[in-house]
Every structure is written in C-alpha cells, then in structure tokens.
Amino acid sequence: MEMLPWDVWGAMPAPGEPIDDERLALFDRLADLTRDPDAAVADLTAAYADDGRSASPPPSTTPS
C-alpha cells in the first residue's frame, strides 16, 4: 500500500495537531527500528502487530 503525505490514520496527527510525547516516543522507536530493518525484523514485526497505531487501515471496498 502506498503511503501518501496527506494520509492521516493511526498515530499520525491531524494537520496542525501537535505531536504529544507518547506519539513522539512511538515515532522515535519505529525510526530506530527501521534504521537497520534486517537487524530488527522480530522487533519490527512485533511493533506493527502489537500496536494498532502503526497498522495501516484495510483497503477501501468502496467502488470507484
């Protein structure tokens, strides 16, 4: 699924909304894990499986 800069879901703050300390910690952790993803596969898998804020929503089923 392609992520677009204007997508807002999960932990992503709405435009103009400040990033609180909890989200900042999450983003810092994900950034650290994705720095060398091959070395952190298990941790990355757990981070995305265990925290719904980092999971992308299911694809829309609305016909276009």
Summarize pLDDT for 7-64 with one digit per residue, the tens: 667 788 888 889 999 999 999 998 999 999 899 999 989 988 888 888 777 776 555 5
DSSP state of 13: P
What is the Cα–Cα distance from 32 to 61, expressed in whole angstroms? 34
Give per-residue pLDDT as tens, 19-29.
999 999 999 99
What's this model's pTM, rounded to 2 decimal places?
0.69
What is the Cα–Cα distance from 29 to 37, expressed in whole angstroms? 12
Q: Are the CB atoms for 25 and 31 separated by under 8 Å?
A: no
Exposed e or buried b per residue across 18-41, where buried means at least 16 C-beta atoms within 10 angstroms of its C-beta = eeeeebeebeeebeebeeeeeeee
